[in-house]
């Protein structure tokens, strides 16, 4: 069953075709980074309009890449939230309309469940139970994945998400949008030991995070400095160290607390190399496994939505033909999958 996946929750138009028996057949992405760069952040209305322009050509391109006719599409999955409502509506309306025209079912997918399941696109996918660290621009959550569709929130950020902290910190040092990857690039040339920032909330029990104070620490250090290019790199490294170390401490705690033997990392910040190295080292110490999607499937993409949608459709998810999207959506509101489909 080839399922078309559509992702339009923010500033990437992602489209993919996924078959439960054959895996990923094709995927295409259009990033709006250049469109939003001059504004220093995502402009929601511009994002929606660009999704309208890009979506159909990407669907056509995916079908061509996979060598399929659109009648081969047996189901449509679109991101239904959380995200920018206008942007979500573009993908949801297009997905629903196509499904109706083809006479196939359509399902609205939770964006973060998409991220969480992205490691299943890789060879030797992890099987539940596992701990999942979801680190994106809008979310930082630690979950216990008891089964696919059954998620227990262990902890989350009380203020900024990790990706948001990267982006805001980069912005206050005058770095171009999007700040996360740029800050990570500069950190690679930073000299260790010159600056040190706190590891927020690691001295308290539990799994919650707080990253907003970190950017204030960076602001004070930056204002107090010579603001040279090397200082910028050194601060970037110290900031990245603080975020990475904080995430690693909480992940280690979650593995020990739950007894899970596997950690799955997903979301845009999962593309960060220092984080990948630090979590791999921590997991190895506990003889646990750590699974990351390839970097292009850490950030927003259509493949993760096609996969999550294919699992939901195979599990019997049937929705009335109504376009419904949500700007806010807790993962604990999701229905568990029936056991025979929950193994991935």
Specify the residue, 90 or 104, whose C-beta has the smaller distance to ligand KG4.
Answer: 90
Q: How many CB atoms lie within 10 A of CB 223?
A: 9
Q: Is 260 in the site for ligand KG4 (CB under 6 A)?
A: no
Binding flag, residue 300, Zn ion (CB under 5 A): yes
Helix (DSSP H) and strand (DSSP E) numbers for the chain: 11, 10
Interacting stretch for Zn ion, rule CB under 5 A, among 61-69, 282-290, 297-305, 336-344? 297-305
Binding partner selected for residue 178 from Zn ion, ligand KG4, none, CB under the kind-specific 5 to 8 Å limit: ligand KG4
Of 32, 79, 136, 301, the one binding Zn ion (CB under 5 A) is 136
**Rounded CA separation 243/255 (Å):** 18
DSSP class of residue 209 equals B
Taking the complex as a whole, the smallest distance from the CB of residue 101 to ligand KG4 amounts, in Å, to 29
Least distance in Å: CB of 330 to ligand KG4?
16
- How far is residue 29's CA from residue 7's CA, in Å, rounded to a whole number? 9
Which has the closest alpha carbon to 301: 28, 26, 1?
A: 28
Pick from 299, 306, 309, 311: which binds ligand KG4 (CB under 6 A)?
Answer: 299
The smaller minimum CB distance to ligand KG4, of residues 104 and 170, is found at 170
- Rule CB under 6 A: is residue 167 a binding residue for ligand KG4? yes
**Based on the number of CB atoms within 10 Å of its own CB, is 81 exposed (0-12), middle (13-18) or buried (19 or more)?**
buried
Joined together, the tokens standing for residue 129 give 């139970």
Least distance in angstroms from the C-beta of 161 to ligand KG4:
7
Distance of CA 239 to the CA centre of its chain: 21
Round to whole Å and give the CA distance between 111 and 93.
Answer: 16
CB closer to Zn ion, 169 vs 301: 301
- The answer to whether 130 touches 103, Cβ cutoff 8 Å, is no
Shortest separation between residue 301's beta carbon and Zn ion, angstroms: 9
Q: How far apart are CA 246 and CA 12, in angstroms?
A: 28
Q: Is 166 in the site for ligand KG4 (CB under 6 A)?
A: yes
Out of 108, 138, 149, 309, the residue judged to bind ligand KG4 by CB under 6 A? 138
Q: Interface mask (CB under 6 A) for ligand KG4, residues 208-237, using x and -?
A: ------------------------------
Contact 129, 274 (CB under 8 A): no
Is there binding between residue 301 and Zn ion (CB under 5 A)? no
Q: Is 83 left (phi over 0), alpha (psi -120 to 50) or beta?
A: left
Q: How far is the CB of 115 from Zn ion (least distance, A)?
A: 5
- In the complex with Zn ion, the residue whose CB is nearer, 55 or 218, is 55
Question: Which residue from 150, 168, 100 is spatially nearest to 319, judged by alpha carbons?
Answer: 100
Sites of contact with Zn ion (CB under 5 A)? 136, 300
Sites of contact with ligand KG4 (CB under 6 A)? 10, 136-138, 163-164, 166-167, 178-181, 184, 267-269, 271-272, 299-300
């Amino acid at each position: 069953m080839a399922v078309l996946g559509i992702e339009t929750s923010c500033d990437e138009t992602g489209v993919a075709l996924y078959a439960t028996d054959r895996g990923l057949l094709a995927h295409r992405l259009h990033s709006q980074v250049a469109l939003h760069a001059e504004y220093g952040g995502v402009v929601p209305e511009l994002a929606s309009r660009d999704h309208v322009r890009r979506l159909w050509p990407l669907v056509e391109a995916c079908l061509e890449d996979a060598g399929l006719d659109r009648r081969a599409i047996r189901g449509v999955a679109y991101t239904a939230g959380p995200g920018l409502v206008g942007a979500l509506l573009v993908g949801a309306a297009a997905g629903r309309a196509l499904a109706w025209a083809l006479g196939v079912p359509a399902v609205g997918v939770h964006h973060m469940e998409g991220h969480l399941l992205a490691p299943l696109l890789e060879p030797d996918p992890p099987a539940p139970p596992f701990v999942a660290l979801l680190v994106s621009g809008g979310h930082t959550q630690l979950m216990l994945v008891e089964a696919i569709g059954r998620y227990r929130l262990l902890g989350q950020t009380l203020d900024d998400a990790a990706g948001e902290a990267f982006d805001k910190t980069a912005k206050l040092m005058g770095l171009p949008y999007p700040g996360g990857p740029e800050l990570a690039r500069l950190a690679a040339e930073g000299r260790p030991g010159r600056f040190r920032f706190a590891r927020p909330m690691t001295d308290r029990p539990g799994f919650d995070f707080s990253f907003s104070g970190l950017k204030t620490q960076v602001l004070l250090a930056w204002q107090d400095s010579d603001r040279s290019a090397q200082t910028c790199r050194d601060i970037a490294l110290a900031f990245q160290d603080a975020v990475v170390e904080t995430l690693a401490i909480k992940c280690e705690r979650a593995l020990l607390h739950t007894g899970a033997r596997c950690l799955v990392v997903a979301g845009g910040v999962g593309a960060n190399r220092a984080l990948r190295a630090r979590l791999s080292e921590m997991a190895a110490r506990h003889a646990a496994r750590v699974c990351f999607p390839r970097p292009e499937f850490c950030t927003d993409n259509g493949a993760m939505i096609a996969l999550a949608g294919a699992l939901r459709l195979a599990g019997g998810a049937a929705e009335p033909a109504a376009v419904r999207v949500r700007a806010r959506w807790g993962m604990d509101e999701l229905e568990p999958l029936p056991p025979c489909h929950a193994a991935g």
